[in-house]
Amino acid sequence: MNVQPQKTPSILPVVVIFIIIFSLLTAAVGAIYYFFLLPKITNNTSSIEVSNLFREASKNFAEGKYSLQLESANKALNKSTTDKERAIAYYWKGLAEYKLASSDKTQAQQDLTEATRLDSTYAAPYVTLSAIEMDSGNFQGGLTLAQKCATLDPKYAWCENNIGLALFYLGQKQEGIKHLEKAVQISPDTLVFRDNLNRARQN
How many CB atoms lie under 10 A from the CB of residue 46? 15
Quote the CA–CA distance of 37 and 84 in Å, as a whole number.
22
Residues 6 or more apart in contact with residue 153 via CB below 8 angstroms: 123, 159
Residues 6 or more apart in contact with residue 31 via CB below 8 angstroms: none
Residue 189 pLDDT: 95
Question: What averages of pLDDT result for each successive group of 10 residues across the chain (203 residues)?
Answer: 39 44 43 36 62 96 97 97 96 98 94 98 98 98 98 97 98 98 97 97 94
Residue 46 pLDDT: 62
Radius of gyration of the chain (CA): 30
pTM, rounded to two decimals: 0.77
> Which domains does the chain show, CATH number per domain?
50-202 (1.25.40.10)
Residue 103 pLDDT: 83
Residue 102 pLDDT: 85
Identify the three-state secondary structure at position 5: coil
